[in-house]
Amino acid sequence: MNTQRMAAILLIAVFAAVMLSTMVTPPGLYATQDIDKRLEILKIYRTRWLMERAVVVVSALLMVVGFSLLASTLRTTRAGWVPVLGAVVIVAGSIVAMYFVYLQTIDPRSGYSRAYSTPEDLAYWLWLAGTLLFGVAFLQAGLPVWLGYLTAGVAILYGIAFLLTGAGFMTPFLVALLDLVIGIVLLKR
pLDDT in tens, 58-116: 999 999 999 999 999 998 878 789 999 999 999 999 999 999 999 999 999 988 876 77
**pLDDT for residue 88:** 98
CA–CA distance, 89 with 44 (Å, rounded to integer): 37
CA angle centred on 30, ends 28 and 35, rounded to 5°: 95
Q: What is the mean pLDDT of residues 141-148?
A: 94
Dist CA 43 CA 185 (whole Å): 42
pLDDT averaged over the chain? 94
pLDDT of residue 167: 86
State what percent of residues in the chain have pLDDT above 70: 99
Q: What is the mean pLDDT of residues 45-51?
A: 96
H-type alpha helices, 45-144: 46-74, 81-106, 108-112, 118-140
Q: Is the pLDDT of residue 139 over 80?
A: yes
- The residues spanned by each domain of the chain are 3-187
